[in-house]
Amino acid sequence: MAASQASLLLQKQLKDLCKNPVDGFSAGLVDENNIFEWSVTIIGPPDTLYEGGFFNAIMSFPSNYPNSPPTVKFTSELWHPNVYPDGRVCISILHPPGDDPNGYELASERWTPVHTISSSCISQFFHTEVVESIVLSIISMLSSPNDESPANVEAAKEWRDRRDDFKKKVGRCVRKSQEML
């Protein structure tokens, strides 16, 4: 039951995104037979080190979505304090709801599930804003790295202490992403 509601919700969100594209990213299915895996391309935001890059990621939704958050993993190389070396994105909005066991985040910064009575209420109330807000949070992360709670400690140290080296690595990632087009 939950998986079918999640499936209906994701179909609606994808349809809405296709009808009303949002600047800065594009989204589609990895496989037409699996609504739970989306391919997302994020365009490096203007006036940032990532400007001009085209960074591909997979957004995987759980069967109990929207009660649990999706995961986002870059498949393009990305050097960033809030992206694990394997590409997984680490931002508050993608962390499970509730209190942070480590005490770094407020519950209000973490994933917030939507509580509704029926799938028709969900589709009327809860459409593209969620996926859009996740991707816009990732774009914001590219603009303003959080080196206080890093997923990639080396990138965070470089961001803080050796900014020129950091910029060179990011520049290589941007060029590599452009070559992959």
Q: Supply the CATH number for residue 23's domain.
A: 3.10.110.10
pLDDT at position 1: 57
Indicate if 121 belongs to the active site. no
Q: Given this model, what pLDDT does residue 117 score?
A: 35
Q: What residue has token string 């079918």?
A: 4
Q: How far is CA 102 from CA 24, 83, 93, 134, 153, in A?
A: 32, 18, 15, 22, 17
Q: Residue 71: which of 111, 113, 34 has the closest Cα? A: 111
Looking at residue 84, its pLDDT comes to: 97
> At CA 37, angle to CA 143 and CA 112, rounded to 5?
60
Question: What is the total count of domains within the chain?
Answer: 1
Tell me the whole-structure pTM to 2 decimals: 0.85
Tell me which of 18, 90, 121, 173 is the catalytic residue. Answer: 90
Per-residue pLDDT tens listing for the chain (181 residues):
567 889 998 998 898 888 888 889 999 999 999 999 999 999 999 999 999 999 999 999 999 998 889 999 999 999 999 999 999 999 888 878 777 777 777 777 777 765 333 333 344 444 446 788 888 899 999 999 989 889 999 999 999 999 999 999 999 999 999 998 7
Host domain of residue 121: 2-179
State residue 22's pLDDT score.
84
Quick one: pLDDT at residue 39?
96
CA–CA gap between residue 71 and residue 78 (Å, rounded)? 16
